[in-house]
Chains A and B, each alone.
Chain A
């Protein structure tokens, strides 16, 4: 169950070195060019920062919006510390009934503690989940 009690819950910080082979694998899977610049959307694949009590891979979750901002471009070899936080949870009536909106923010900082990027994903969860539908 996803509710407002999750707001503010955050992951531990994860230290990461941006490795060429990881970025190349990402770029090849997405079939996008990669030379030296880290692709803009790469930061949303940083999912090792788990938030206790919340699972991003809940099947019924649909990604509705995504916002990514950079203070500076990420490069291979950069070392960043990132974490995830549940920014907001609220209900809404959608076309297909009640839905829950969940905002997950990922922030990344460099070695000196300067913000490098922030990214906010807006997920939509139907009140009646996929698993509920299957058993109905």
Chain B
């Protein structure tokens, strides 16, 4: 496994795949208290013009953060994570979270992030600052 200290600009990050489900979205709503019906009520979401329920944005972001945390392991920590939700994520979609190194210094890696669905549509973009342990 490559140490974070060996990563260079333009190197690719690992890929985390995630397939959200109705059950998971319900469980996430219960765990976080976010019961917005667009995430758990299909009829409501259809009437709202969304074509059915969509995953919580924060649930998608959690997958991106999990990819980063797995990759970082004990070599550092996430100091900053900024994301933009660009597309809707639906139950059954296969979402791939990844990114690459945009810049690095002795103590920090700056990563560009993106997540795509199985139609190759980008659903999330962002940036992370990773603080490296000495």
Contacts and interface: CB of A to CB of B under 8 A. Distances in A.
Interface in A69-97: 69-70, 73
A94 to B, nearest CB: 14
A28 B80 CA distance: 23
A25 B31 contact: yes
B33 A47 contact: yes
The range of chain A's interface size is 20 to 34
B36 A39 contact: no
Interface residues of B, number: 38
B62 A41 contact: yes
Interface stretch (B3-11, B65-73, B101-109, B111-119): B65-73
A40 B68 contact: yes
Contacts of A28: 27, 31
Which interface residue of B32, B49, B56, B77 has the most chain A CB atoms within 10 A? B32
A65 B82 contact: yes
A16 to B, nearest CB: 14
Contacts of A47: 32-34
A62 B77 CA distance: 29
A66 B34 contact: no
Interface of A: 25-26, 28-33, 37, 39-41, 44-45, 47, 56-57, 59-70, 73, 130, 133-134
Nearest 7 Cβ contacts at the A-B interface: A29-B31, A63-B57, A32-B66, A40-B65, A45-B32, A29-B27, A67-B82
9 contacts: A30-B66, A31-B18, A33-B69, A33-B70, A41-B61, A59-B44, A59-B48, A67-B80, A130-B38
